[in-house]
Structure 1
């Protein structure tokens, strides 16, 4: 009987530790970017495209950049043109938060227009 009580108590304590670890990791995940405030830079949006790979839209002063990040390093992909509204945080899903796909399609449309002008000799 004592061994059954010991086994149940060990399982309950282990389960409690797992639940607490899960709750703490969720709380840290939601507030992690708050501790990394920067005076001149802000991540406008980000999208995970693979294991340890993501694409970010970063605002530095009044310019926007498309940046790729992976385990091999960080690479500037392109300076973006256009207006990207500020959000209250990355991935918060607020009403004024545009999705990465919206920004990507906006950039893609402008890039196609630019390519179309240069293909046909129009500048």
Structure 2
């Protein structure tokens, strides 16, 4: 079967456009990872390290900071930063393996049609039985 020139002239630019968009998205992903690593290395110094942070609202959040060997829970907003309490370093849990999901894992899960933002791979407990 012979392909018509109309088909090739219509489909090839579409394929190249999709490939170009995918390449740009991948480059944006790599750039964002690079910038995040740079920002963390700039923010963490010999005496001050941000161990963990979580956003509570658009301009509010909590952070655990290690300052001169002591750990603190800090609350912050756009207009205020407040020391909430000192934390014993033994109380701080290290992240569980596989607890954090990166962009590629979330994208693969979404493409497979099983986007699971809870991190439990689609398994929900219901009266002791898994679905």
- Output the TM-score relative to the length of structure 1: 0.52
Aligned residues: 88
Question: Which residue number corresponds to residue 128 of structure 2?
Answer: none
CA RMSD of aligned residues (A): 3.0
Does residue 1:24 correspond to 2:26, yes or no? no
Output the CA distance in 2 between the equivalents of 1:63 and 1:36.
17
Match 1:93 to one of 92, 95, 107: 95
What runs of 5+ residues in structure 1 fail to find an aligned partner? 96-123
Instruction: Deviation per CA, 1:39-90: give whole Å up to 9, x if none.
Output: 32122332222223210122222443322222x234113341x5215x8xxx
Whether the 8 Å contact between 2:65 and 2:73 is mirrored in structure 1 is yes
Output the CA distance in 2 between the equivalents of 1:77 and 1:36.
18
Whether the 8 Å contact between 2:53 and 2:64 is mirrored in structure 1 is yes
Question: Which residue number corresponds to residue 102 of structure 1?
Answer: none
Does residue 1:41 correspond to 2:48, yes or no? yes
Does residue 1:57 correspond to 2:64, yes or no? yes
- Output the TM-score relative to the length of structure 2: 0.49
Output the CA distance in 1 between the equivalents of 2:50 and 2:23.
36
Output the CA distance in 1 between the equivalents of 2:25 and 2:69.
44
What is the deviation of 1:27?
4.6
Output the CA distance in 2 between the equivalents of 1:45 and 1:69.
13
